[in-house]
Amino acid sequence: MPMKVLAVLLFSTLIVTLSYAQGKKAPSLLRVDLLQNPEWVYDQGQRAPVSLEQAAAADTTWQFCRVNSRFPTFSWVVGEGHQTAFELLVASRKELLMKDSADVWNSGRKNDNNSIAALYRGVALQPSTVYYWKVRTWGSDGKASSYSAVQSFCTGKTLEDFSLPSFVLVKTPQLPQQVRQLDAGNKLYDFGKDGFSQLKLSVNAQQANDTLVIHLGEALAADGHINRNPPGTVRYRMIKVPLAKGHHTYQPLIPPDKRNTGSNAILMPAEIGEVLPFQYAEIADAAGRYKIDSVSRYLVTSVFENDATTFTSSDTGLNKIWDLCQYTIKATSFAGYYVDGDRERIPYEADALINQLSHYATDAEFTMTKRTLDYLIYHPTWPTEWSLQNVLIAWNDYLHSGDLRQVKKLYPDLKAKLLTSLAREDGLISTRTGKQTPEFLNTIYYKTFNANTGLKDIVDWPPAGGIGGGQSGVMGETDGFVFTDYNAVVNAWYYAGLEAMAKLSIAVGNKADADYYTREAKKVQASFQRTFFDGQTNIVLDGEGTKHSSLHANFFALAFGLVPKEKIAPVISFIHSRGMACSVYGAQFLLDGLYKVNEQEYAHKLITSTEKRSWFNMLREGATMTMEAWGQEYKPNQDWNHAWGTAPANAMVRYIAGVQPLTPGYGEVQIKPQPGAVEHVALSLRTIRGDIGVRFENKKERFNLQLSLPGNTIGRVYLPFAADKAVVKMNGKVVKATFAEGYYQVQNVKPGKHNFEVYTGNR
């Protein structure tokens, strides 16, 4: 045998031997208190080439995320299969961990399958200290994995037993995608997409007393210049920059806006500075006086992993709407909280609920939801339904992150936000029957100023005529909803809140509360169906005492499971007759309701519509983030950077690709595609347990699904197919599958890659 061939064989044997000796695949994607990269260091928003140790020693020079809990949690992605035990080491020096030693905490081998939110149980961590950790796991075969890589983190200056970690914002440098020469010597610099940004430019000036005039904006006028007088809250700003003689780099300060930098707004950190949403910069280049050498901008966002989730399909329209929504979630993360866009920069519960779902669909980041929920508990807004949404936000957080600590901390406040004291004997609630006492409002941290303040039902936004009903030209988005003392929409939300609160009560171990909320939910369900359904039409009425039925009364009831099976058909027929007679906020729950009763074709039609009330209309009017409304005529004071319009992002992941957690932290995951007319979809979704891959090909005679599940998950797979007598194969072998309501179900699917086929006839 030639020596070269022999050497290759020996080397290959050595690699195989070493790989076997090193054990199973090591855990990866480590997190401390859900922080993904706590060792990253920043200098005013940009990654700095310094270590965490150097940054911690410098105290105020650098920025990084701090762990503020004395007893944090640790999470990791299991390399393969199911974990049966783990060993976690925490040390004060990295060198110790390299020797598999730990001077802070050694968990020992713990027979525990938990790989998310594993609680630190060593001595309390100390403030302003850098720690190091790593972990290894055992599988059902009894073999240990290799240790993970070492991750470092630094604690905060003051610690609590549990406290949310701090956060950093990042600046991403971007060059214009196009530069166009305008008349009068002006040049237009187009950055391709709108973004909360700061401008940077280099100018060579011939004299010391010149001034550069810069126009920044989100929209263009008909003549190709930046629109100097845009409608509503669409942004435009003129900035004058005094020039120094010679070649210099300038980063003009953005003047603060009084409305979105006031006492109620989320302010930008000092190390980042003020930002303005703009896509375009228009600058005069005065030959002989000064020359502009370069123009760029810094896009400011929270840390966002662009490729955490990827989605593509055979429907190009669907793909465009995905890109619009995914980018919106990234771009509107600029404040570190879910805010209402640029007009006020205030967190609202309704924005947070939709932002949360779309954020989970586009990036596996959980701390922004927790931060925003913590803020909203103590800074409530006025709509009745939005108080109830706190409970749903908390449940969604636990379901996706698997971390229950914040729920335990906020549990008494979440109970108050449920508004049970506003209920009458049959369980239905009202804010208009004299039960909103100062004592009640204090329990939800609502600040009373006069007898007319308190919670008010909203249904959708804006109402006809705007706030107070006196604004001409505001069409309203409530589909003519008739407000009564007891209305269907508020009580649909109340029912959803009771169900979520019952689940949270079980999670925190309070069986008495869980039993109570379960009983109340059943009572409200019965009262809702008795009170709000029209006995002749079998559709939902707006409220007690009116015969009017709106789109909203029906889709909220459908979304929250309040429509009896025998009444689904008339409710669906009515919903079809109303079209998109709701706002971009209402559209989230319209889509939820449609997909939950398998109305996937109609839901897909709404998502990809090109009519005025559509996401394509936002693109047509010039936006590159989702608007606050369908278009300017539907809300004259709207802004162009409102993430509560991103419902399609989470709909594509949760319904079209069909991926939803069934148990907290994706321990068990449902894969139930609803393709409708879409022929193929490819999704890669980052979760707290790792990446889930879904690829399907949808044809009349065959459905094929390729599925990849990360370690420590169990899959419940639903395969859509019209025929109730078909062949179902998993990994090439025929399997028994339960058929119901157009799906073949395969349970207990293990981690790894699988191929499913459903077909009729011979192959």
State residue 21's pLDDT score.
Answer: 37
Topology adopted by domain 23-41+49-161:
Immunoglobulin-like (2.60.40)
CB 515 within 8 A of CB 443: no
Q: Angle at the Cα of 408 (from 402 to 410), degrees rounded to 5? A: 115
pLDDT tens, position by position, 438-473: 999 999 999 864 446 799 999 999 988 766 566 666
Of residues 2 and 411, more confidence is placed in 411
Residues 151-155, mean pLDDT to the nearest whole number: 98
DSSP class of 184: G
Share of the chain above pLDDT 90, in %: 90
Q: Is 664-759 in CATH node 3.30.1490.190? A: no
Element (H, E) at 392: helix 384-401
CB 196 within 8 A of CB 301: yes
pLDDT tens, position by position, 135-150: 999 999 999 999 999 9
- The alpha carbon dihedral of 142, 147, 152, 157 has a sign of positive
Does 13 have pLDDT greater than 70? no
What mean pLDDT is reported for the chain? 94
Q: Angle at the Cα of 546 (from 544 to 550), degrees rounded to 5? A: 100
Query: 284 has which bridge partners?
Result: 186
**Contacting residues for 509 by C-beta, under 8 A, at least 6 apart:** none
CB 583 within 8 A of CB 461: yes
- What CA–CA distance (Å, rounded) separates 506 from 29? 29
DSSP H helical ranges for 175-315: none
Of residues 321 and 287, more confidence is placed in 321
Does 30 have pLDDT greater than 50? yes
Site of tokens 């790792």: 690
- The alpha carbon dihedral of 18, 22, 24, 25 has a sign of negative
State residue 430's pLDDT score.
Answer: 98
- What CA–CA distance (Å, rounded) separates 569 from 557? 13
The CA-atom distances, in angstroms, between 282 and each of 228, 253, 286, 752 are 11, 16, 13, 52
State residue 468's pLDDT score.
Answer: 57
Phi/psi region, residue 254 (left: phi>0; alpha: psi -120 to 50; beta: rest), is: beta
- What CA–CA distance (Å, rounded) separates 663 from 715? 11
State residue 1's pLDDT score.
Answer: 42
pLDDT tens, position by position, 519-577: 999 999 999 999 999 999 999 999 999 999 999 999 999 999 999 999 999 999 999 99
- Count the alpha carbons within 13 Å of 521 in the hemisphere toward its beta carbon: 20
Residues 340-348, mean pLDDT to the nearest whole number: 95
Share of the chain above pLDDT 70, in %: 95
pLDDT tens, position by position, 464-522: 876 656 666 667 899 999 999 999 999 999 999 999 999 999 999 999 999 999 999 99
Return phi, psi of residue 192, to 5°.
90, -45
CB 5 within 8 A of CB 44: no
**Contacting residues for 687 by C-beta, under 8 A, at least 6 apart:** 364, 400, 661, 666, 669, 710
Which CATH number does the domain 170-302 belong to among 2.60.120.260, 3.60.21.10, 3.30.450.20, 3.40.50.720?
2.60.120.260
State residue 418's pLDDT score.
Answer: 98
Q: Name the residue type at position 160.
A: E
- What CA–CA distance (Å, rounded) separates 691 from 282? 42
Of residues 101 and 19, more confidence is placed in 101
Ordered by start, the domain boundaries in the chain are 23-41+49-161, 170-302, 308-382+600-656, 384-457+479-581, 664-759
- What CA–CA distance (Å, rounded) separates 293 from 473? 46
Tokens of 147: 């240790």
State residue 101's pLDDT score.
Answer: 97
pLDDT tens, position by position, 247-273: 999 999 999 999 999 989 999 999 999
- What CA–CA distance (Å, rounded) separates 253 from 257? 12
State residue 7's pLDDT score.
Answer: 38
- What CA–CA distance (Å, rounded) separates 384 from 382? 6
Overall CATH class of domain 384-457+479-581: mainly alpha
Residues 176-195, mean pLDDT to the nearest whole number: 94
pLDDT tens, position by position, 562-621: 999 999 999 999 999 999 999 999 999 999 999 999 999 999 999 999 999 999 999 999
DSSP string for 287-313:
TTTEEEEEEEEEEEEE---TTSEEEEE
- Strand, helix or coil at 120? coil
- What CA–CA distance (Å, rounded) separates 650 from 140? 34
CB 432 within 8 A of CB 485: yes
Residues 669-692, mean pLDDT to the nearest whole number: 97
